[in-house]
Amino acid sequence: MSQVSYMRNNMNKPVFIDFGCGPNMSYSIKYKLNGYYIVIIEKSEEYLYENLDMGRPDIEWFKMIADEISFFDITDSSKSVMNKADVWNCSSVLEHVDPHDIDPFLTGLKNNCKDKSKGLIHIDLTDHFGGFKHRTTPEEYNHFIKNFYQEKEWYEIIEKHFTIKAWHKLFWYEDSPDNSPDKKYYHILGTKNKDMIVNSENCMAVDFTVYT
């Protein structure tokens, strides 16, 4: 099948984009099985393989899932995908973005989405080892955690770019051992009263469901 024929056959599908997925294709697989046209965007091909435990796969493995793979810096407003998102995901990415690049990054997300698109933004607020040492010793972490905002600051940042439909705080179950592979989150639904939003200090992550 030619590229033109392939694109024509997929034009009527809704589009799902995973921004900065790395090697985690779980969201893309879920939407693929539900009939979506799948797009993944990464800064470079190397980012697809970052922190991959199972060893480096061939790019063909990603092509079996994704219909379109784009490598560019999302903060570059001159770059965009061919097919913009109806639904999208950006998980565990924003904590790795330099503070001065956060607004351009979020603008880039929006520029690659259709009007009224729905997105999920997940931000890991920990030091990525289960704690918060990045706040007390930032010099040890700023090579991979670029900012140290908490949920209140993130709400204010996100709402400048998107309509926030809902948000959740995530905490570990208190009786879970720190090194347990079965350690689980529990969710607390965020208040709709913005004046009541406060930093929890021990919040592990925050999720935002948003619309463009």
Confidence of residue 179 (pLDDT cuts 50, 70, 90): low
pLDDT tens profile 11-56: 689 999 999 988 889 999 999 999 999 999 999 888 877 765 555 5
Report the DSSP beta bridge partners of residue 113: 85
> Cα 60 to the chain's mean position, in Å?
23
CA 125 – CA 100 distance, rounded (Å): 18
pLDDT tens profile 60-102: 888 999 999 999 999 999 999 989 999 999 999 999 999 999 9
Average pLDDT taken over every residue of the chain: 88
Report the DSSP beta bridge partners of residue 209: 120, 166
- What does the pLDDT read at residue 161? 97
Cβ-based neighbour number of residue 128 at 10 Å: 15
Of 65, 72, 59, nearest in space to 20 by CA: 72
Of the ranges 47-51, 105-109, 174-178, which is most confident? 105-109
pTM recorded for the entire structure:
0.88
